[in-house]
Amino acid sequence: MSIVNGLLGQTTNQLFWVVLGLIAWMLAFWQLEDVGPETLGDVVILVLTVIPLGIGLVAIQAGVARWNSYRHLLALLFIFLGGAACAYFGAIYFGWTKVGKASSVRRVLKAQGVLSQSVPKTVRRVILLLLGIIFTLACVALLIFGGWQLIQGSTFIGLICWLIGLAAVVFFHWPPQKLNPLWYCYSKLKEREAD
């Protein structure tokens, strides 16, 4: 019990605010645990794999457009950059890079259907997964920061962050409909986890 008293002695706020801060940290942990480490890792792999391919295709298209407008030097630069980005995607895909060696890129791409779907469906899927991760990590950051503020800082700022984070946690799970963007993006992450 002396350890608990010693820890509480280091806080600058009342016991109620400290308990509320610890509840915020518990919610942040639960939110990350609910998504799962494998899903977080797979989305990072997907981003590191798909972004070079997208950059390459856009750069090649821009190079062709510049070539057609008789700006050949700029066109060659864009085509070179596009080719380099596509070559980097190939290196990731075949496991010749750090990302490709350390992960199962092919498994993630196949599970997400990235290379087997049309480009608009792939872009939509990647954007929904990214938004799901961004919303989840923003919620976790708000809960951690709010919890810290409630324990040892400004109770007003901590309470605001805690309430926004709590609202986000609620909206991640309810109401389950497409009109709720938090739930929709989060459900795409959970879909991935079920694959």
Mean pLDDT across 16-43: 90
Among positive and negative, which fits the CA dihedral 178, 182, 185, 190?
A: negative
Mean pLDDT across 123-130: 84
DSSP assignment of 2-16: HHHHHHHHH--S-HH
DSSP assignment of 110-135: HHHTTTTS-HHHHHHHHHHHHHHHHH
Of the two residues 84 and 42, the one the predictor is more confident about is 84
Question: pLDDT tens digits, residue range 148-192?
Answer: 999 888 999 999 999 999 999 999 888 888 888 888 888 887 775
Report yes or no: 52 and 85 within 8 Å, Cβ to Cβ.
yes
Mean pLDDT across 82-99: 87
Residue 149 has what pLDDT? 93
Mean pLDDT across 12-27: 90
Report yes or no: 78 and 62 within 8 Å, Cβ to Cβ.
yes
Residue 193 has what pLDDT? 47
